[in-house]
Structure 1
Amino acid sequence: MKISIIITTYNSQEWLKKVLLGFSVQTVDDFEIIIADDGSTYETKAVIDSFSARFTHPIIHVWHEDNGFQKSLILNKAILKSNAEYLLFTDGDCIPRNDFVATHLRFKEEGFFLSGGYFKLPMTVSKLIKEEDIINQNCFSISWLKGAGLPISFKLIKLIKNYYFNSFMNWLTPTKRTWNGHNSSGFKKDIIAVNGFNNDMKYGGLDRELGERLDHLGLLSKQIRYSAICLHLDHERGYASPEIWKKNNAIRAFNRKNKVIKIENGITSVDSPKM
């Protein structure tokens, strides 16, 4: 298969269903989906099982018991279960446009990772999106979103689907080409080379930290924020705290200063992680 898509989730069945619907109508189908489940209840498995017949390859459900926020650990477990040489990472609250996977495949290149973004929706609009709106792609229409109550803003230009315009905006945007957990991809061998995600990090910057180590490895990054489009559904973030942010920022600062490439507590520590 051409690509493995790793989707993180935690007890968000309504949103995960919408995300899987988005992947079920992609313009390419030679991919596998791996759900990196950070300890959800049985209801999440029921959603995954309900989609089993919609994809060319079986969905792989990677799960561990709920022990607080362990996104890095479940991502590392998912990476080890992946079967493709190229990996695309996104979240269980981001609905992909139907060319999302094809766009990542079109831009992939040895020596690079891809940096995508998202278009963030308020809760009211997130709730209004129905199955048919995803299947027929109405939810990516500016006019449909405006009709659903989305305020007009400059950010709506992200949803314009034009190769030349999107390429120009990717070049023009001042947004840094970082590794973003909701929309980034890279070669599995490169992610393995830096020992994957840092199990010492909780919520806040863990995705960026991986990208910084890929940069230390010598990789460059491509900006595809206006080409690979996904809609970010609103949700609460009860797992953040100033103490965790302080610890994570200290880890990132140390790794940047010392040009750290391969962290100790990563993929190789999955069987006996340091928690």
Structure 2
Amino acid sequence: MSSPQISIIVCTYQRPANLRRVLASIAGQREVDGKFEVVVADDGSTDETPQIVEQFRKSVRFPVQFTTHPHGGFCPGRARNEGVAASRGEYVLLLDGDCLLPRDHVRMQLAKRMPGVVRVGDSIRLERGPSASVSEEFATRGRLTRVASLAERARIKLRAAKSTFYNLRNHPDRPRLIANNVALWKKDYERVNGFDQSYVGWGAEDDDFGFRLRRAGLQLRTILWWTTCYHLWHPKDPSAPDGRTGGDNYNYLRRGFHLVKCCDGLVKRTWQELSIAAAGPLPTSSVLRQIFPDSRPRFVADGPAEVEVLFTPGPGAFTGRAQCNVLVALDHSADSLLAAPEAHLVLSNEPLPGVPSERQFLLTQWQTA
């Protein structure tokens, strides 16, 4: 069996009625016969979701896969990673299981593929009444503008214009990536190790994903001039904070550093697998054994590293080229205090004055840090 051109990854959890309609809208796609597959990426639903997917698989002529795992807290990043890992296409379209597609959505996503470009979008938010009126048959026909408000359709046009303006101005973090409607090359997804599964609960995992894609040198460009999707109404997720940027996930997002290739993603990366450089002289072997009793880091001699480690006291300074700066403060000398503001993480035997507690760890907590 030949590989499809595009894999549609549908992320879902405990919303079977919405999933049925989303799958129906995928079945209604036109001019893409033989070009796509569907992977329903489930976050551990305990309802009829597996049966819905199996029934759908038997009713269509394109490949359909299903991935799932025991639910351990809302983690769409894990579901998406598992779906992408199972996919066979060289291009992937990430959707949420409550986002309906107009009939030309997949065709337009394929037409707008470009090397080094991630196509980002958004969704028209359907109100509660119109959402309830959408049947599977209606979703298949794809005439979704009939249930969308004029205000929402105007908002999407404005968002498309803003996104283009941001691209023209080379804005550092706009347009935003919203994971309910985004398409990219699978190799680029793998390049950043997919979504960071440390985000558990609602929100921020897509902001993190977009940030790391940009750090990897990819451009985020809008798809909204050509197509969008339609978001079915549902109650607010219990894990969602009151404000968009509140809660543990957004605190984690604002931690100050991001490895482009996250550790808890498509594959699990231990600290021994990171590229680490010394930002100054190394301490004695006995001190290194104290900090790294089980396995000493392999310090790279040349080229950029993901992590720079500076040992104080002693000469040296962070270069600013690494994705994460780690200060190993063996005392509270002037060298340590001077380097601390440039460090993302600090390891020491006692807390270093002026450094936030969430950035400080004991020398024996290297792996935890």
TM-score (norm 1): 0.84
Cα deviations across residues 182-228 of structure 1 (Å, max 9, x unaligned)? 10011111111111111111221101211110000000111112322
1:117-266 paired onto structure 2 within 5 Å: 117-138=122-143, 140-141=144-145, 144-145=146-147, 152-153=150-151, 155-157=152-154, 171=164, 176-202=174-200, 203-236=202-235, 237-241=237-241, 245-254=246-255, 257-258=256-257, 260-266=259-265
2: CA distance, partners of 1:178 / 1:159: 13
Greater Cα shift, 67-76 or 79-88? 67-76
Q: What is the aligned partner in structure 1 of residue 21 from structure 2?
A: 18
Preserved CA contact (<8 Å) 2:11 2:97: yes
Structure 1 position 57 matched with structure 2 position 62: yes
Secondary structure of 2:178's counterpart equals: coil
Q: Give 2:113's aligned amino acid.
A: K
| 36, 43, 49: which one aligns with 1:44 | 49
CA 188–69 in structure 1, closer or farther in 2 if over 3 Å, else same: same
2: CA distance, partners of 1:19 / 1:134: 7
Structure 1 residue 22, shift from structure 2 partner: 0.4
**Bigger helix share:** 1
1: CA distance, partners of 2:10 / 2:242: 26
CA 169–26 in structure 1, closer or farther in 2 if over 3 Å, else same: farther
Preserved CA contact (<8 Å) 1:31 1:56: no
Give the share of equivalent positions with the same residue, in percent. 27
Q: Give 1:132's aligned amino acid.
A: E
CA 253–98 in structure 1, closer or farther in 2 if over 3 Å, else same: same
1: CA distance, partners of 2:25 / 2:162: 24
Q: Give 1:37's aligned amino acid.
A: D
Cα deviations across residues 120-179 of structure 1 (Å, max 9, x unaligned)? 0111110001233223333x23xx33xxxx6542x324789xxxx998686368993222
Q: What is the aligned partner in structure 1 of residue 121 from structure 2?
A: 116
Preserved CA contact (<8 Å) 2:101 2:229: yes
Q: Give 1:97's aligned amino acid.
A: P
Secondary structure of 1:102's counterpart equals: helix
Preserved CA contact (<8 Å) 2:121 2:181: yes
| 74, 86, 94: which one aligns with 1:89 | 94
* Structure 1 vs Structure 2 CA RMSD: 2.8
Secondary structure of 2:67's counterpart equals: strand
Structure 1 residue 55, shift from structure 2 partner: 3.4
TM-score (norm 2): 0.64
Secondary structure of 1:212's counterpart equals: helix
CA 258–159 in structure 1, closer or farther in 2 if over 3 Å, else same: closer
Q: What is the aligned partner in structure 2 of residue 31 from structure 1?
A: 36
CA 44–249 in structure 1, closer or farther in 2 if over 3 Å, else same: same
Unpaired runs of 5+ residues, structure 2, are 168-172, 270-367
CA 171–45 in structure 1, closer or farther in 2 if over 3 Å, else same: same
CA 45–242 in structure 1, closer or farther in 2 if over 3 Å, else same: same
CA 84–42 in structure 1, closer or farther in 2 if over 3 Å, else same: same
Q: What is the aligned partner in structure 1 of residue 104 from structure 2?
A: 99
Greater Cα shift, 62-71 or 166-175? 166-175
Equivalenced residues, count: 257
Preserved CA contact (<8 Å) 1:118 1:232: yes
Preserved CA contact (<8 Å) 1:166 1:227: no
Greater Cα shift, 170-179 or 119-128? 170-179
Structure 1 residue 54, shift from structure 2 partner: 4.0
Larger radius of gyration: 2
Structure 1 residue 241, shift from structure 2 partner: 3.5
CA 178–170 in structure 1, closer or farther in 2 if over 3 Å, else same: closer
2: CA distance, partners of 1:14 / 1:267: 29
CA 79–137 in structure 1, closer or farther in 2 if over 3 Å, else same: closer
2: CA distance, partners of 1:157 / 1:206: 27
Greater Cα shift, 167-176 or 257-266? 167-176
CA 158–59 in structure 1, closer or farther in 2 if over 3 Å, else same: farther
